[in-house]
């Protein structure tokens, strides 16, 4: 199965490729020649995830009855896109859908989260990822589309300061439930087992009944 992940984020792409079964080839947007900016105009993670998946799906099909083959002649079976938000309880669920652009940069976002919680006793938070996949249910038939949307959540708390250099985004300030270290400190192998994105991808694999050939 060949799927396009609607992202050029190298960190996300690496994480996704490690999690997906061996029988699934995951392509980035640049690998299919998609270089357009996708406007995330939705007010929820679900809406933004779907907007990204539909935009890339339309680009691949380009009004034709079958998806464009790449240079090797193989077809693209579908597209999946994710949208992720950090939801902090004491802040009423903020930054949520605006997590990536809350303060303008990953460093500024983390600093704002720490600042906003400086006088708060409740530091509980959760990461939530919504993945939307659009694909043809039967590769031999260009008619019809299958739409799947799944959610992955990991609960935890915001640390008092940044710890670790691993991961990306809010990882250095987020301590997942059951651990004493942030995602920025934990090995990638552990994060790929328990992260919000990993849990959403595991649900996606289950929904599509994809067999792991490793």
Give the whole-angstrom CA distance, residue 190 versus residue 50. Answer: 28
Closest CA to 133 of 143, 145, 148, 144: 148
* 89 C-beta neighbours (distance < 10 Å), count: 16
d(CA 162, CA 164): 7
Residue 181's Cβ-side half-sphere holds a number of Cα atoms within 13 Å equal to 12
Cα separation, 59 vs 36, in Å, equals 10
Q: Which of these is catalytic: 58, 72, 83, 212?
A: 83
Burial 139-172 (b: 16+ CB within 10 A, else e): eeeeeeeeebbbebebebbbbeebbeebbebbbb
Q: Could you give the count of Cα atoms lying within 13 Å of 32 in the half-sphere of its Cβ? A: 31
Q: Is 83 tagged catalytic?
A: yes
Are the CB atoms for 12 and 29 separated by under 8 Å? no
Length of the chain: 214
List, by residue number, the catalytic residues. Answer: 83
């Amino acid at each position: 199965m060949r799927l396009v992940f609607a992202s050029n984020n190298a960190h996300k792409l690496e994480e996704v490729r490690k999690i997906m079964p061996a029988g699934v080839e995951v392509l980035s947007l640049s690998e299919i020649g998609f270089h357009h900016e996708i406007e995330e105009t939705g007010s929820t993670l679900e809406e933004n995830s779907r907007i990204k998946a539909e935009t890339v799906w339309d680009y691949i099909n380009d009004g034709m009855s079958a998806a464009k083959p790449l240079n090797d002649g193989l077809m693209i079976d579908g597209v999946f896109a994710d949208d992720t938000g950090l939801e902090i309880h004491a802040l009423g669920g903020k930054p949520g859908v605006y997590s990536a652009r809350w303060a303008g940069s990953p460093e500024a976002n983390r600093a704002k989260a720490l600042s906003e919680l400086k006088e708060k006793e409740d530091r509980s938070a959760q990461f939530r990822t919504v993945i939307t996949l659009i694909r043809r249910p039967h590769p031999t038939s260009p008619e019809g589309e299958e739409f799947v949307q799944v959610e992955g959540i990991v609960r935890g708390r915001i640390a008092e300061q940044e710890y670790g250099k691993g991961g990306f985004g809010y990882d250095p300030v987020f301590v997942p439930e059951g651990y004493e270290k942030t995602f920025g400190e934990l090995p990638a192998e552990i994060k790929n087992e328990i992260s919000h994105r990993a849990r959403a991808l595991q649900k996606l694999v289950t929904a599509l009944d994809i067999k792991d050939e490793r």
